[in-house]
Structure formats: structure tokens, C-alpha cells
């Protein structure tokens, strides 16, 4: 199964998607590094598989704003592209940097063995020097995107600018941040979309549900009356709500789920097998199905390829639907910078290039 990075799921904890290889731009030079694990320690390689930062950390994240969040001896630190520790924030929770600021928290408490937050503590923001730039005063705080960040302070919630000033109020529990000038805010299970002035989009009634998507390429997938379709930034449905599920557009195509004739996977080692009556395919922006619904899961197209899976194995197709990299992995993530992260059943993680060649052998 592949992970989609712009979905809100109520059961998920919002924060960092660890290990997705992204790039950072500390000055004018673009740096592309990929997290890897060796003998239980994490470091980074470049796109050729050469080790750039020796595996030495308990965990690492991708680079943002020229810095990467890592864990050393149980403490969060930030490293530069050489692997040098440049910041040791002294807070209970420290998230990634985004637009020069990182959310931090002191005082959060969770119920033991359950994980539910019993006391939110107080959130604020630090700058790249570690200085507290926005005070610890929020009961909820998210990363900045397009100059704004969602926060809550007591009964009040809305979006702040980089000074910490609330620009407009919006009822919210959690958001995915702004994308293309619009944000989807989840509040008590209902999703509402707002522009960067706080104006509500006049969408049709949206289903109560655990999922929301962000605007991508001018459209967003929404659920209404038990089906999924797409609306534009005026709030109008432009692709009819006729699908069982739908994902964001990426490179002109979007994955959608629909009913199909029952198909079976081969028997497994225990002589049992699973069948599917709903599968994923791809539509274009006219709503036309351009890649038939053949897949148990279908990810976004990135760098010309999309991860798909059938019968618990994942591989990659091109925009014609042709299988370019065979279904051989237990998990496969989207390509970034020419490499894709793949997993095997025993938890080993590695990287392949667009030909399917192994750049970093699966390890753990």
C-alpha cells in the first residue's frame, strides 16, 4: 500500500511524514539528500547512493529550510547538510521547520498506554537560531504554508502570520495547510474550504467523514452524498461525484476508485485468498477514465510514474498504464529526485531509480 501525503485521516496524528526524500534550499544551491538506515542508525545518501551523512542518528526527517530534524540520544536536534548539529532546542516537542519557523510545545500530556492527549500544553514557534519567535500560548499549532499557520487559543481558532497575529478566525480541529491559496479545515468531522482571506468556498454539502484532500492543479476531491467528485475554487462541482473514492490531481491525472467485477488474488501460503470488487484507476481533468481500474491501490503520478499495488505487492506504472517497475515490493513511495523509497515485508527499506535499479539495498 502506498501513502498519500495530502490526506487528512482522523485516526492519524498530524505532524511529519518521516523518510520521504525531499530537497531543501539553504541558500541558492539545491540540496537533495535521502534518509537511509544501516544497522539501526540513520543518515543520508545522495541520488547515486553515496553516503553523505554517516548513519549515526536514532531517526531523521527530510530537509526543510536547509535543516533536518534528527534524534540523538533521545533528544531532537537539527543538522545541516554536512551532518553537523547546529541546533539543540530545549522543548518537549519540536517539529520540522517550515518557512523559517518550527512548532514547539511544552506541557503536553497523554494518557499512558492509550496515547490520547489529556493536556495539550502550550505551542509556539522557534526560528532557525532556536529563539522563541512566537510565544508558547496556543493549545494547537500547525506548520506554516503559504505564509499562514492554523492555531487554536482556548475557544478561538484561526490562522496567524509570521508575527503570531491572528489574521482571521476559522473553526478548526486540524487542517492540511494552505495549498494553491485554499485550505481545508476539519471541524467536528466536517470539512470546509477557505481562501487566504478567510472567505468560505460555497461548496455543495460535503459528507461527514474522516478524510479531506487539498487543492491540487486547481481542483479538490470531495465527498458528497456518499460519492466522490471534484470541485474548483468557485466551489462548483466540475467532475461529477460518481466515484467510491478519489485522490488529488498530480501531473494531470487523479486516482479514483470504482466498482469492478470480482477479481481474486492467488492463494497465499495458508491456501486462502482475497478478492476485490472495487479498484483504482486514473481520470483526466475532464473526468474521463484514461487508465482502467485495475489496482487495489493507486498513488499520485510524480516524475512521470505512479506507485500501484495488487495482491499486497507494489510497483510503478507510466501514464499509459504500462507497468514499468514490476509489482515486487511490500510498500513503495512516490519518486522524488529520481529515487523511490521501497519496503520489504521484514521492514527493510531501500531506494530504487526509475529503471527499477537498486540504488540503496533494503536494510534496517
Determine the pLDDT at residue 189: 86
Determine the pLDDT at residue 115: 87
- Cα–Cα distance measured from residue 167 to residue 179, given in angstroms and rounded to the nearest whole number: 17
Determine the pLDDT at residue 30: 52
Determine the pLDDT at residue 347: 92
pLDDT digits (tens, 9 = 90+) for 80-101: 999 999 999 999 999 999 999 9
DSSP 28: S
- Cα–Cα distance measured from residue 187 to residue 176, given in angstroms and rounded to the nearest whole number: 12
Determine the pLDDT at residue 61: 96
Secondary structure (H, E, C), 61-89? EEEECCEEEEEECCEEEEECCCCCEEECC
Beta bridge partners of 184: 193
CB 103 within 8 A of CB 141: yes
Backbone angles phi, psi at 283, to 5 degrees: -115, 160
Positions of the chain with pLDDT under 70: 1-31, 210
SS3 (DSSP) at 11: coil
Beta bridge partners of 63: 68
- DSSP code per residue over 233-250: TTS-EEEEEEESEEEEEE
Q: What residues have CB less than 8 Å from 355, skipping those under 6 apart?
A: 325
Determine the pLDDT at residue 16: 29
Query: 324, 359, 326, 328: which is closest to 343 by C-alpha?
Result: 328
Determine the pLDDT at residue 31: 63
Q: What residues have CB less than 8 Å from 136, skipping those under 6 apart?
A: 104, 105, 106, 122, 123, 124
Long-range pairs of 309-313 with CB within 8 A, sequence gap ≥ 24: 309/1, 309/2, 310/265, 311/265, 311/266, 311/274, 312/265
Determine the pLDDT at residue 28: 32
DSSP 134: E
Determine the pLDDT at residue 310: 95
pLDDT digits (tens, 9 = 90+) for 37-95: 999 999 999 999 999 999 999 999 999 999 999 999 999 999 999 999 999 999 999 99
Determine the pLDDT at residue 273: 85
Backbone angles phi, psi at 13, to 5 degrees: -100, 125
Determine the pLDDT at residue 100: 96
CB 87 within 8 A of CB 99: no
Query: 228, 232, 211: which is closest to 220 by C-alpha?
Result: 232
Determine the pLDDT at residue 331: 95
Amino acid at each position: 500500500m502506498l501513502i498519500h501525503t495530502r490526506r487528512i485521516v482522523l485516526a492519524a496524528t498530524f505532524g511529519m511524514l518521516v523518510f520521504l526524500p525531499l530537497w531543501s534550499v539553504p541558500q541558492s544551491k539545491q540540496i537533495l539528500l535521502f534518509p537511509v538506515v544501516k544497522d539501526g542508525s540513520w543518515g543520508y545518501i545522495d541520488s547515486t547512493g553515496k553516503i553523505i551523512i554517516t548513519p549515526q542518528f536514532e531517526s531523521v526527517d527530510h530537509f526543510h529550510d536547509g535543516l533536518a530534524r534528527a534524534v540523538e540520544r533521545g533528544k531532537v536536534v537539527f543538522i545541516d547538510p554536512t551532518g553537523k548539529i547546529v541546533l539543540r532546542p530545549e522543548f518537549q516537542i519540536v517539529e520540522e521547520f517550515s518557512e523559517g519557523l518550527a512548532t514547539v510545545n511544552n506541557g503536553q500530556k497523554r494518557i499512558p498506554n492509550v496515547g490520547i492527549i489529556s493536556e495539550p500544553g502550550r505551542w509556539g514557534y522557534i526560528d532557525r537560531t532556536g529563539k522563541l519567535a512566537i510565544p508558547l500560548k496556543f493549545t494547537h499549532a500547525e506548520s506554516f504554508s503559504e505564509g499562514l499557520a492554523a492555531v487554536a487559543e482556548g475557544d478561538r481558532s484561526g490562522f496567524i502570520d509570521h508575527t503570531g497575529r491572528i489574521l482571521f478566525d476559522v473553526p478548526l480541529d486540524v487542517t492540511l495547510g494552505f495549498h494553491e491559496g485554499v485550505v481545508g479545515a476539519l471541524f467536528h468531522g466536517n470539512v470546509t474550504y477557505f481562501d487566504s482571506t478567510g472567505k468560505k468556498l460555497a461548496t455543495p454539502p460535503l459528507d461527514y467523514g474522516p478524510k479531506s484532500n487539498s487543492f491540487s492543479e486547481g481542483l479538490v476531491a470531495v465527498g458528497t452524498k456518499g460519492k466522490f467528485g471534484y470541485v474548483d475554487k468557485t466551489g462548483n462541482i466540475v467532475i461529477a461525484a460518481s466515484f467510491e473514492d478519489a485522490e488529488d490531481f498530480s501531473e494531470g491525472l487523479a486516482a479514483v476508485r470504482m466498482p469492478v467485477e470480482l477479481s481474486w488474488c492467488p492463494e497465499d501460503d495458508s491456501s486462502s485468498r482475497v478478492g476485490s470488487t472495487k479498484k483504482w484507476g486514473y481520470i483526466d481533468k475532464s473526468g474521463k477514465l484514461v487508465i482502467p481500474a485495475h489496482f487495489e491501490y493507486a498513488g499520485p503520478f510524480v516524475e512521470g510514474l505512479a506507485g500501484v499495488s495488487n495482491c499486497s505487492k507494489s510497483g510503478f506504472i507510466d501514464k499509459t498504464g504500462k507497468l514499468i517497475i514490476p509489482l515486487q515490493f511490500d510498500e513503495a513511495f512516490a519518486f522524488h529526485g529520481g529515487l523511490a523509497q521501497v519496503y520489504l515485508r521484514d521492514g527493510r527499506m531501500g531506494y530504487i531509480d526509475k529503471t527499477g535499479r537498486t540504488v540503496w539495498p533494503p536494510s534496517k
